[in-house]
Structure 1
Amino acid sequence: MEWGNGSLYPDFILLGLFSSSHTPWLLFALILLVFMASIASNATMNLLIRVDPWLHTPMYFLLSHFSLMNLLYISTIVPKMLLDQATGQRAISFAGCTAQHFLYLTLAGAEFSLLGLMSYDHYMAICNPLRYPVLMSHRVCLLIVAAAWLGGSADGFLLTPVTMQFPFCASREINHFFCEVPALLKLSCRDTSAKLNQTTLCFRGVSAPGPDSVVILMAEGNLNSVNSGTLLPRSCLHLDMEPTLHNSTDFLLLGLITRPALPGLIFTVVFSIFTVAVTANMVMVLLIHVDSRLHTPMYFLLSQLSIMDTVYICVTVPKMLQDLLSKEKTISFLGCALQIFLYLTLIGGEFFLLGLMAYDRYVAVCNPLRYPLLMNRRICLIMVLGSWVGGSLDGFMLTPVTMSFPYCGSREINHFFCEIPAVLKLSCIDTSLYETLMYACCVLMLLIPISIISVSYTRILITVYRMNSAEGRRKAFATCSSHIMVVSMFYGAAFYTNVLPHSYHTPEKDKAVSVFYTILTPMLNPLIYSLRNKEVASALRKVLGRCASSQRIRAGDLSRKY
């Protein structure tokens, strides 16, 4: 099965609003009138809000974006519907159906989100009228609109690849006037109700009866005839595969080194790094929590980075350590899926958080007087929440698609954890299109924080260059140096993994780079920030001094008692 089925069956057939209409031109005229009225009214609404200063308020700003979504939404579906009604040619290509599917989900999801957020605007206007200009500032409105678009696009990115990767080997007639998900799934020759727990056979298409055709469907390990005797070519049966293709069986992790000569030494080194990483990050979080001098936006974001690092290293290393001690190096299908999701969520969250930390440094250096206002607690919480949401979107988009492929060959993953490229090598279908889409998604996720970092540090360098005070320059560089080091390490490894072509990759190199950003980086981050930061070092000495004093007091009390 080719991923997406586009090469064998390029076109679907849209049956339309009515499969057989006696008055097609009347229907065409009615739909055209509704379409033109919708376009004109939404465009007029946008124009009025733009040109009339009386309408430059949060409510109308959100309403203008709602009109824009409506305009794009109806333009995604109706023009194709009108063309089909006028020409009678109702075919739509696989790529066109995918694009329509994605845009429909994105715009519908964005409208759902925006309508919910518009109710918050009304609540503020009625219940907090005096604080309304502050609580619904232009910046907050932009965040609301961005969140709505992001929520909608997450829906599109999540459902489109999952839907379009099913084999559509039965009828190509979609009983609808556009490519809606339920109508599409009815054409699949696989069970779409529980694809992760189901055994899958590779279908390449329906053929005419002949000696090289078989009537077969393999599901849940049983051979059954296809409905109505559907004939499938023998070429779609991979005879070298296992007789059943269960995606619920265990995988086997080959580990960092396939056959280590000294597993005990590797275990000791990895366990030592793991212990130092967890301890250092937890100490960093504790110091920031107990020392009032560290209750600043920079250290609040740093505490979240330490939490991410702690959870991140705990996702992969404990299983790795267990495998080094045990002969059984298996990981269940659900365990592998969970590891992929958590790994993607946490690495994506760190990408975004490091980018937003660069913005924090920019405000501290370039706008020190406005820093308490621009980086208040509410903004910090939004930054942290945005980082977690951005990372989880990556996990929610890529995990279900990755784990929906049939893994019918070897179950041996040449890695020490379930990393997506290593897992996809076991699939018995072509995953090249999905890998390309995943590559584009990862590059986009890198570009957003890298752009923030580049712009922030460019402005910082310009500001530092214009400073007359050598002391001011020293403080500015001291403020940013730790973050630059962490960013360089983390994004350097991410660049190799996600941007370099496949020709540069080998399993050994991939595992070495993975060790760097899954094991070493979580250990180095808190050490860099603590060793190069006088405030953190001072807080650590203060806490250790308190502990020593309390121990001396307890020892004195015990000596007096006895």
Structure 2
Amino acid sequence: MSSYMEAENHTEVSQFFLLGLSEDPELQPLLLGLFLSMYLVTVFGNLLIILAISSASHLHTPMYFFLSNLSFIDICFVSTTVPKMLVNIHTQIKGISYMGCLTQVYFFMIFAGLDNLLLTVMAYDRFVAICHPLHYTVIMNPRLCVLLVLICWLIIFSASLLHILLMRRLAFALGTKIPHFFCELALILKVAQSDTFINNIVLYVATALLCVFPVTGILYSYSQIVSSLLRMSSTASKYKAFSTCGSHLCVVSLFYGTGLGVYLSSAVTHSSNRNSITSVMYTVVTPMLNPFIYTLRNKDVKGALERLLSRAASCP
């Protein structure tokens, strides 16, 4: 009988309700304008990075190939959550369909995970460039670069699909409310009516593996880079070598710093509203800042971007 009721609940649930960042009517126009501006800046900023890299032949190197992929992933990442939030704020309708919620969870996990793995691949690229400069072009050949990106996609697609398949077996009550501005897997598991033990175990294991291995890879790469830099006699050589890592280090610090901030915030406080506001940092702010970090700290990207904009301005 209980299994029948669970199945009935599961089939009857047609939508969830996203509570958003605030229910204050006076704040809605401000939130709409703020997040629409941030979304447009993120999309156009990352799109410009992709166009600048593709239009400049001297930037067709592994480092910029990975950077253009990171920009594409950031566009997709922010597009997974923000447009739906903007529609909900504008229409004052907080509903999201059951399948829409599952789709959002799936793609959010994919692009968050890809950000994580791609930053690790970029760290490896810098490790090879600084520690094995004579063999860089041989090791980081186009075939390996494409293969590394495809492996990242394959790992994340598989892990995300497993979560969704496990989530499909859960039952939910009618009118289930999610205290967030998007469907996040951890929160969905909290509001589920059925047993989520297996889901939580898989979530913890997958999160641990997809965090521990990338972070270990990044730390190892940079430990070898620092060791190599210390062996260099010329200060100019040290600065030139390390300057190529500066932008990547800033992005890594921002990504993991905001992610850690969200985790600590949810662990320390049980305020769902505060957790939602903290989540904005890694879901919206980080993808928005990445183009600025790479443009302001990288002369090659800045130069390519200036030439692209000047050509666009000179066109009739």
Alignment partner of 1:506 is 2:300: no
Hey, what does 1:25 align to over in structure 2? none
Hey, what does 2:44 align to over in structure 1? 279
Change beyond 3 A, Cα 1:458–1:329: same
Q: Could you tell me which amino acid in structure 1 is paired with residue 205 of structure 2?
A: A
Structure 1 position 273, deviation (Å)? 0.4
Structure 1 position 366, deviation (Å)? 0.9
Structure 1 position 503, deviation (Å)? 4.9
TM-score of the aligned structures, taking structure 1 as reference length: 0.54
| 2:75/2:287 contact within 8 Å kept | yes
TM-score of the aligned structures, taking structure 2 as reference length: 0.93
Q: Could you tell me which amino acid in structure 1 is paired with residue 128 of structure 2?
A: V
Change beyond 3 A, Cα 1:414–1:324: same
Alignment partner of 1:452 is 2:217: yes
Select which of 131, 145, 149 maps to 1:366: 131
1:405-452, CA deviations, whole angstroms, 9 ceiling, x for partnerless residues?
A: 111264111110100122122212342453243122201100111111
SS class of match (2:26): coil
| 1:255/1:414 contact within 8 Å kept | yes
Select which of 480, 486, 505 maps to 2:251: 486
Change beyond 3 A, Cα 1:202–1:461: farther
Hey, what does 1:145 align to over in structure 2? none
SS class of match (1:262): helix
Q: Pick 1 or 2: higher relative contact order, CA cutoff 8 A, min separation 6.
A: 2
Rounded to whole Å, the distance in 1 between the matches of 2:29 and 2:265 is 34
Alignment partner of 1:295 is 2:60: yes
Rounded to whole Å, the distance in 2 between the matches of 1:463 and 1:324 is 51
| 1:350/1:387 contact within 8 Å kept | no
| 1:411/1:426 contact within 8 Å kept | yes
Hey, what does 1:417 align to over in structure 2? 182
Rounded to whole Å, the distance in 2 between the matches of 1:543 and 1:410 is 50
Select which of 392, 404, 413 maps to 2:169: 404
| 1:348/1:392 contact within 8 Å kept | no
Rounded to whole Å, the distance in 1 between the matches of 2:112 and 2:155 is 10
| 2:6/2:171 contact within 8 Å kept | no
Rounded to whole Å, the distance in 1 between the matches of 2:302 and 2:125 is 21
Hey, what does 1:56 align to over in structure 2? none
| 1:362/1:456 contact within 8 Å kept | yes
Structure 1 position 550, deviation (Å)? 3.7
- Structure 1: gaps of 5 or more residues: 1-200, 204-216, 222-243, 552-562
| 2:180/2:276 contact within 8 Å kept | yes
Q: Mean Cα displacement is larger for which, 315-324 or 427-436?
A: 427-436
1:212-250, CA deviations, whole angstroms, 9 ceiling, x for partnerless residues?
A: xxxxx44875xxxxxxxxxxxxxxxxxxxxxx5535411
Hey, what does 2:81 align to over in structure 1? 316
| 2:265/2:278 contact within 8 Å kept | no
| 2:17/2:175 contact within 8 Å kept | no
1:465-503, CA deviations, whole angstroms, 9 ceiling, x for partnerless residues?
A: 111111111112211111011111112233345688845
Hey, what does 1:517 align to over in structure 2? 282
What is the RMSD computed on CA atoms of the aligned residues?
2.0
Hey, what does 1:77 align to over in structure 2? none
Within 5 Å, which residues of 2 pair with 1:109-124? none
Rounded to whole Å, the distance in 1 between the matches of 2:190 and 2:53 is 43
Hey, what does 2:298 align to over in structure 1? 533
Rounded to whole Å, the distance in 1 between the matches of 2:6 and 2:206 is 32
Rounded to whole Å, the distance in 2 between the matches of 1:503 and 1:521 is 22
1:24-68, CA deviations, whole angstroms, 9 ceiling, x for partnerless residues?
A: xxxxxxxxxxxxxxxxxxxxxxxxxxxxxxxxxxxxxxxxxxxxx
Q: Mean Cα displacement is larger for which, 293-302 or 404-413?
A: 404-413
Rounded to whole Å, the distance in 2 between the matches of 1:398 and 1:500 is 24
Structure 1 position 404, deviation (Å)? 2.0
Question: Which structure shows the bigger proportion of residues in helix conformation?
Answer: 2
Count, aligned residues: 316
